Amino acid sequence: MNISDLVKQNPEIVENLTVKLNLTDLTAYAEYCFSKARQDLPDPKPKEELLTPAQFADTLKISLVTLWNWDNKGITKPVRIGNAKRYRRSDLDKLINS
């Protein structure tokens, strides 16, 4: 019989129950709790795919000049990463579906 079953059968003993743990046991229990908690968490949001201007324009069958004009008009909203310009896949999907 384990301690959990003993407490369930005799709840009155909890008042005087003393538990001694060493650091190794406590660490193992904490790792067990964290691993169970990670299993219960939903999968993290998948990372957004970023496309180059050429990939974005090729998919839409437009020229890079047209894409540049769309950027200036606010139709597309590129993301700047340093000097690089990238476009979100989700923005491409919205344009295709609209």
Q: What percent of the chain has pLDDT over 70?
A: 98
The whole-number pLDDT of residue 70 equals 95
| Contact in structure between 34 and 71 (CB atoms under 8 Å) | no
Structure confidence by residue, pLDDT tens digits, 17-40: 777 889 998 899 889 888 888 887
Angstrom distance (rounded) from CA 64 to CA 68: 6
SS3 label, residue 44: coil
Beta strands 79-81 and 50-51, pairing class = unpaired
Structure confidence by residue, pLDDT tens digits, 6-16: 778 888 877 77
Closest CA to 83 of 52, 54, 61: 52
Residue type, 43: D
Task: Give percent helix, percent strand, percent coil of the chain, each to the nearest 5.
Answer: 60, 10, 30
Domain map (residue ranges) of the chain? 3-40, 50-97
The whole-number pLDDT of residue 91 equals 92
